[in-house]
Amino acid sequence: MESKIEVLATVKIQHSPDLYKIVDCLNRTLKKNDLMFGLALDEKDQNTAIFTIYRT
Protein backbone atom coordinates (compact mmCIF):
# COMPACT_ATOMS: atom_id res chain seq x y z
CA MET A 1 0.00 0.00 0.00
CA GLU A 2 1.47 3.30 -1.11
CA SER A 3 0.79 6.58 0.68
CA LYS A 4 0.58 9.70 -1.46
CA ILE A 5 1.35 13.05 0.11
CA GLU A 6 -0.15 16.09 -1.61
CA VAL A 7 1.14 19.64 -1.09
CA LEU A 8 -1.83 21.92 -0.43
CA ALA A 9 -0.05 25.21 0.23
CA THR A 10 3.39 26.69 0.81
CA VAL A 11 4.25 30.11 2.19
CA LYS A 12 7.51 31.86 3.08
CA ILE A 13 7.50 33.74 6.37
CA GLN A 14 9.98 35.43 8.65
CA HIS A 15 11.72 32.87 10.84
CA SER A 16 10.96 32.91 14.54
CA PRO A 17 12.37 30.56 17.19
CA ASP A 18 8.86 29.52 18.31
CA LEU A 19 7.41 28.65 14.89
CA TYR A 20 8.05 24.95 15.48
CA LYS A 21 5.59 25.07 18.42
CA ILE A 22 2.77 26.12 16.09
CA VAL A 23 3.65 23.41 13.57
CA ASP A 24 3.81 20.79 16.33
CA CYS A 25 0.42 21.86 17.69
CA LEU A 26 -1.17 21.76 14.23
CA ASN A 27 0.27 18.31 13.53
CA ARG A 28 -0.97 16.90 16.84
CA THR A 29 -4.42 18.45 16.47
CA LEU A 30 -5.17 17.85 12.79
CA LYS A 31 -3.48 14.53 11.97
CA LYS A 32 -6.85 12.79 12.29
CA ASN A 33 -8.02 14.99 9.39
CA ASP A 34 -5.19 13.67 7.18
CA LEU A 35 -3.29 16.96 7.35
CA MET A 36 0.40 17.37 8.04
CA PHE A 37 2.43 20.56 8.46
CA GLY A 38 6.08 21.16 7.73
CA LEU A 39 8.59 23.87 8.53
CA ALA A 40 12.03 24.35 6.98
CA LEU A 41 14.58 27.11 6.70
CA ASP A 42 15.05 28.63 3.26
CA GLU A 43 18.42 27.46 1.92
CA LYS A 44 19.19 30.89 0.47
CA ASP A 45 18.00 33.00 3.43
CA GLN A 46 18.30 31.65 6.98
CA ASN A 47 15.93 34.39 8.21
CA THR A 48 13.09 32.97 6.14
CA ALA A 49 11.07 29.87 7.00
CA ILE A 50 9.02 27.81 4.56
CA PHE A 51 5.72 26.58 5.99
CA THR A 52 4.00 23.81 4.04
CA ILE A 53 0.61 22.15 4.43
CA TYR A 54 0.22 18.57 3.19
CA ARG A 55 -2.68 16.15 2.79
CA THR A 56 -1.68 12.59 3.62
pLDDT of 1 reads 57
Domain that holds residue 43: 6-55
What's the chain's Rg over C-alpha atoms?
12
- State how far the Cα of 8 lies from the Cα of 47, in Å rounded to an integer: 23
User: Does residue 51 lie within any of the structural domains?
Assistant: yes
User: Does residue 28 lie within any of the structural domains?
Assistant: yes
| pLDDT over 80 at 43, yes or no | yes
User: Does residue 50 lie within any of the structural domains?
Assistant: yes
User: Does residue 1 lie within any of the structural domains?
Assistant: no
User: Does residue 15 lie within any of the structural domains?
Assistant: yes
| pLDDT over 60 at 51, yes or no | yes
Beta bridge partners of 36: 54
User: Does residue 22 lie within any of the structural domains?
Assistant: yes
pTM for this prediction: 0.88
**Number of compact structural domains in the chain:** 1
